[in-house]
Structure 1
Amino acid sequence: MTSHPSTLHPLALIPLLTALLGGCGGGSDSTTPPTPTGQVRVQFTSPTDTDNVRTVGAAIPVAVGVTFNGAIAADGSSVLWSAANASFSPARSSSTGGQASSTMVATAGGMLQVQASATVAGQTGSATQTLYLRPAPQALEVLVPAYFYPNPSGSAWDQLISTAQAYPGVQVTAIMNPNDGIFSSADEQFARVVSDFTGEGGQVVAYVATGYGTGRSVSAIKQNIDNYLRYYGRNQLSGFFLDEMGATSQHLAFYKQIYSYIKGLDEELRVIGNPGTLPVADYAGVADVLVTFEGKASDYTRFNPQDGSAWVYAKTNSAQAMLVHNATSCTAMQTAMRAAASARNNTGLVYATDLLYDFATNTGNPWANLPSYWTSLLGTVSALNRGTALPGC
C-alpha cells in the first residue's frame, strides 16, 4: 500500500502562527500606546466668593491651588496672573505644595475678572474669580427721616438737637418734612429747630415728593425747591431729599431735569434720591446719594448689590443709603448697621428704627419718632467708624 503525506487545512495554521509570533517576541512591543493627556485643575483659594469686594488701590492677596491628574502639582509649576485695570506682583509665580500666590492692585472700580493660568508638564488649566472693586469707604453718616412735627412743648427734634454733638465723629443729617414740602410760608417751629440743629453741627435736607415720576409735574417740584430756599434759607439747608423716586429708565429724563435744576441753583446742594430699591445704573447720574433699600430689617439681611447691580461698587459708599424699620431691638439695629458698613453692601448713609410698618396693609409710621435706642445707634455708628467694639445693648 502506498502511503501519502498528511496535509494541514489552512485554518489550522492560524494557531501555529500565533504561537510562533508570540514566542518570537512580536505583538505588544511593536506599537507604543499614546500617553494620556494630563488634566490641570486651578481653584482660587483667596479671595473667596464671600470675600470678593475689595478696595481700589489696596494690596489684595490672591492665591490658587493647582492639581495635575488629581494630585498636587509639582513644585515650580508656573502660574500666570491677569486682569484688566490691575497689576500683579509677581505677574508669574511658581507653586509650592500645590499653592501659588501673588498680590494684586486694581486701578478702577466695578466688577473685575481675575484669571490664573497654571502650566504643568506642558498642559495648561485656568480659573477665573469675580471681584468687585470699590473706592475707599468714607465714615458712616446717620440719615434721619425726621417726619415729626417740632412742637414747642417738646419733640424728637429736641432729642436730635441735644445729641448732635454727643459723638463728634458721626455726621447726622435730618430730613425736614413740613407738609410734604408743599407750603407757601415758613413754619416758625421748623425754622427754630432747623436753626438750632445746624447750630449744633447737624445738617438738614428738605423733603420733596416726586410722585414716582408721574404723580407730580416738574414745575410743581421746582416750586417746592424754590420755597424751601426762600423761606428757610440756603445757609440752613444742605440739599434736598427726593422721595418717591422712580427706579426704571422710563422716568430717568424726569429726574435729570430736577437734578439739573437743583445743581443750577447751587452746585454744592446735595441731592438724595429715594427709589427705596436698587434702580437702573443711570440713576447714579441724577442723584448724589441713592436710598437703595427702604424696608424691614429682616429683609435687609439679604441685600446684595452683586445680584444685578454691581454698578454700585464703582461709587463710594457715601453715594448709597439705607432706611431700615422693624428693627425691633438694639441687637437687630446693630446687625443692620454692621451689614451696611460691610464691603458687600457698600452703604454710607444709615438709619434704623424699632417703629413698625407693614407694606402689605400700609399700616404704621416708622418715621413718626426716633427709635428707643437712638443714642445706642449713634454709639454703634461711632464704633464702626473708629473700628472699635460695638457698645453693649
Structure 2
Amino acid sequence: MHNKHRIATLLALTAALAGCGGGTDKNNTPAPAPAPVPSAPIGVNFVLPSNNVLEAGASDGLVVNVSVNGSPAPNGTNVTLEVNPAAAATVAPVAPSTVGGVASATLSVGSSVAASATFQVKASAVSQSNTAMDMVTYYVRPTPKALQVLVPAYFSSTGTSSPWNTLTAGATSYPDVQITAIANPHNGVITASTKVDADALKAITAFKAVTGTTNKVVGYVATASGSSGELSVTDVKATIDNYLTLYPGVLDGFFLDGMSTDSNRLVYFQDIYSYVQGKGSYKVIGNPGTYPAAAYASANSGTGVADVLVTYAGNAAAYQAIDPQPAHTWVYAKDNAAQAMLLHTASTCTDMQTALAKANSPRMNTGMVYATNLTIGTPWSALPTYWPQLLGTVDAINKKRTLPSC
C-alpha cells in the first residue's frame, strides 16, 4: 500500500506541473490582445512636416492624426507606414499605434540616396467600414554649404565715402563670411573704346585683398537693353573680353543680367556660358529674377547657362510667399550655393533676418543672399543701413549661434 500511495502522489504532482506549464517554463506572460479595429469610419492625415526637404542620412519625425467618426481614434489604433521607393528611407516603427489620436514614427533617409531623389511616405489605417490613407512627398538635396552674401555693388567707387570702403570694412570684420561683389563700372556694356575705371579697379583690389577672406568679384554684364531689346551674343562676348582686358587678374566671373525664364533664349545663354568657360575658371551668375525653366539649371558643359541662378530679385514682403514647390523642385538637385536671392525694401533689420532665415531653409535651398532697406528705383545704389548686422546674421546662421540683436 505504501508504494501505491507514493505512485499516486507522484502522478498527481506531475499532472499539477503540466497544468502550470511545466516546471521549466518561466515565461508565462499571455500574448497581447490584438489592436482594436474601429467599426466606424476612420480618417488619416499627416501633420505636414515643417520640412519635407532632407539630406542623405538625415532623420525626421513623422506625425499622423487618426480619427474615428470625426473624433480622435482610440488609443492603440494601428497605422501602417510605407516608403516608396522602399530603398530611399526607413521608418520606425512601421506600424505605430495611436495615443490621443496621434501616431508617431521616425523617418531616416538612406545614407547613399542621391541628391534630387524623391520619395513618398504613405500612412494607412483600417476600420470595419473603410480604409483611409494619406501621403506626403519628400525631396533629397545635397548637403548644404555655408550661407554666402551676394552684393550688387552698383555704387560709386570714388572717394573715402564710397560704399566700397564700407563693403571692405565689413569683410574685414567678418572674414568667415564669403562675399561676392557684383562690380558695375560701365553699366554692363564695354566696348573697345571704354577706358578702365581706375577707382573701381582700386576698390576691387582692396576688397579682394582683405586678409583671411575668400571674397570674390564678378563683372556686371547686360544681356538686354531697354531701348534696343536683346543685346547680340557678339556684343556680350565683347563686353566679357573687354572686362578681362581692363581688369586683368581681379575678376572671378560674370553676372549676366536680364536672363530669360523660358526656352526662347536658352541657346543664346548656352552660347555665352560656353564662351566664358573657354576663358578659364570663371563663375557665371545668371539673373532671371525668378525661377526659370528647369533647362536653365543645368551647368553641364555644352548645355548650361550659369553656375548660379538668382531665383528671386524683388520686394522683401513678396518673398515670403515664394515657394519652389511644386513647380520648381529642380532646385533640390543643386547645391544651395547655386541659388541666390536679392531683396530690396526689407525696411528693418528684423525684416532682413526674417528673409535670410527663409532663404536658408531647406525648402528654399538658397545659399547666396542679400537684402537692403533701399527701395525700388535705386535699390543697389548703396549698402543697407544694417550692413554690419546682415554680415553678423549670416555668420551666426553658419555657426549656429544666436542672431545679433537688431
TM-score, normalising length from structure 2?
A: 0.78
1:382 to 391, 395, 405: 395
Partner of 2:340: 321
CA distance in 1, matches of 2:171, 2:329: 34
2:278 is the alignment partner of 1:259: no
Report the equivalent of 1:161: 168
Residue in structure 1 matched with residue 88 of structure 2 by the alignment: 86
- Deviation, 1:244, is 0.8
Q: Distance in 1 between matches of 2:381 and 2:188?
A: 16
SS in 1 for 2:231: coil
| Partners of 1:94 and 1:191 in 2: CA distance | 64
Give the Å deviation of 1:238.
1.4
**How far is the alpha carbon of 1:49 from its aligned partner?**
5.0
Letter in 2 for 1:223: A
Of 178-187 and 284-293, more deviation after overlay is shown by 178-187
C-alpha distance after superposition, 1:187-242 (max 9, x if no partner):
21121111111111321011101118951111111111111122212x31111100
Relative to 1, partners in 2 of residues 1:256 and 1:313: Cα closer, same or farther, differing over 3 Å? same
Determine whether 1:64 maps to 2:78: no
Q: Which residue identity does 1:130 align to in structure 2?
A: T
The AA in structure 1 aligned to 2:247 is Y
Q: Does 1:370 align with 2:383?
A: yes
Question: Once superposed, what is the RMSD of the aligned Cα atoms?
Answer: 2.5
Q: Percent identity?
A: 44
User: Offset at 1:100?
Assistant: 4.7
CA distance in 2, matches of 1:342, 1:172: 20
- Given the alignment of the two structures, is residue 217 of structure 1 paired with residue 232 of structure 2, yes or no? yes
Residue in structure 2 matched with residue 198 of structure 1 by the alignment: 208
**8 Å contact from structure 2 (residues 40, 69) kept in 1:** yes
Residue in 1 aligned with 2:107?
A: 103
Determine the structure 1 residue equivalent to 2:353. Answer: 334
Q: Of the candidates 285, 288, 293, which is equivalent to residue 275 of structure 1?
A: 288
- Report the counterpart of residue 116 of structure 1 in structure 2: 123
Distance 2:320 2:94 in 1: 39
CA shift in 2, pair 1:321/1:121, >3 Å: same
Deviation at 1:132, TM superposition (A): 3.2
Whole-Å separation in 1 of the counterparts to 2:358 and 2:91: 32
Say if 1:264 and 1:120 are closer, same or farther in 2 by CA, change over 3 A.
farther
* 3-state secondary structure, aligned to 1:181: coil
Does 2:197 correspond to 1:187?
yes
- AA of the residue aligned to 1:247: T
Match of 1:52 in 2: 52
The offset of 1:51, in angstroms, is: 3.2
When Rg is computed on C-alpha atoms for both structures, the one with the higher figure is 1
| CA shift digits 1:83-109 (9 cap, x unpaired) | 235121447334253525242315243
Would the alpha carbon gap of residues 77 and 307 (structure 1) be closer, same or farther in structure 2, given more than 3 Å must change?
closer
Give the count of matched residue pairs. Answer: 348
Give the counterpart letter for 2:168 in structure 1. Answer: I
CA distance in 2, matches of 1:257, 1:203: 24
- Which structure 1 residue ranges, 4+ long, deviate > 6 Å from structure 2? none
For residues 89 and 317 of structure 1, the distance between their equivalents in structure 2, rounded to whole angstroms, comes to 27
After superposition, the Cα gap between the structure-2 partners of 1:259 and 1:389, relative to the gap in structure 1 and judged at 3 Å, is: same
Report the Cα distance in structure 2 between the residues aligned to 1:260 and 1:91, rounded to whole angstroms: 51
SS for the counterpart of 1:133 is strand
Query: Shift of the alpha carbon at 1:174?
Result: 0.5
Partner AA of 2:245 in structure 1: R
CA distance in 1, matches of 2:355, 2:78: 45
Q: Distance in 2 between matches of 1:292 and 1:340?
A: 11
Q: Note the C-alpha offset of 1:154.
A: 3.6
The CA distance in 2 between the partners of 1:94 and 1:306, in whole Å, is 29
